[in-house]
Amino acid sequence: MKRSRGFALPTLMVMLALASLAALLALRHLWVNEQLLNAETDQLRTLHKAHAALPLAVADIIGASNNNMRHIAGDLTQTHAFFPSSMTEYNTLRQRLLPNTCNAGICAPNALQPSAAKASYWKTQTATALAIPATQTPYGDNTAWYWVEIFPQANSSQDNFIYRITVLANGVMPSSTTVLQAVWARTSVTSPTGQWHSWHVLHD
C-alpha cells in the first residue's frame, strides 16, 4: 500500500508535465496557423490593391485624371513626362527621359527588357513611379505605385501605342508585396476605351 502511494506522486507529476507540454504545443500550433492566415490575408489584400490600381492607370493614360500636363508635350523648354499622341511626341518623350527610361510613372523603353519581367526590378524603381495617393486607395500613402511603359504598335498605319502597366503594392507585413503587370491597348488613337491583352503577377 505504501509502495503504491510512493509511485502516485511521480506519476501525477509526469502526467501534469505531459499535459502542460501538450497544451504548449497546441498553443504554438494555433499561433503558427494564425501567422500563416494573417500573411495569406495580407498577400490577398496587396493583390486586390494592385488590381484596383489598373483602372487608375488607364484613366491616367486616356486623360481622365486631373493632371492635364501629363497629356501636353509643351515646348522645347519643358522637361516633364507626358503621354504622347503621335510618334513625333513619342520621340520627344524618349529624349526627355534620357538617360533614364521612366519618370513620374511614364516610361519609354527602347525595347522589352528581360529584367522588367521580374518583381525585384520594379521594387527598386519606386523613385521613377507614380505613387497612388491616399485619396484614391483606402490603404494610405506610399503603399502602391505604378508605371506605364509605352510601345509603338507594330504594323499600324496610325500612331497607335500599346501600354504595359506595372503595379507595385505593399502590404502591412514586409513580405507582403505584389507586382502585377498587364497590357492594355486603345481601340483607336483617341478612343477612351481599350482592351486588356494580358495580366499576370511577377516573380523572380
Residue type, 171: G
Which residues, 6+ apart, have CB-to-CB distance to 51 below 8 Å?
180
DSSP reduced 3-state for 97:
helix
Structural domain boundaries enclosing 11:
2-201
What pLDDT shows up at residue 130? 95
Residue type, 97: L
Averaged over successive runs of 10 residues, the pLDDT of the chain (204 residues) comes to: 60 77 76 64 80 93 80 90 93 94 95 90 95 75 88 78 95 84 88 88 90
Domain count, the chain: 1
Nearest to 105 by CA among 31, 164, 33: 164
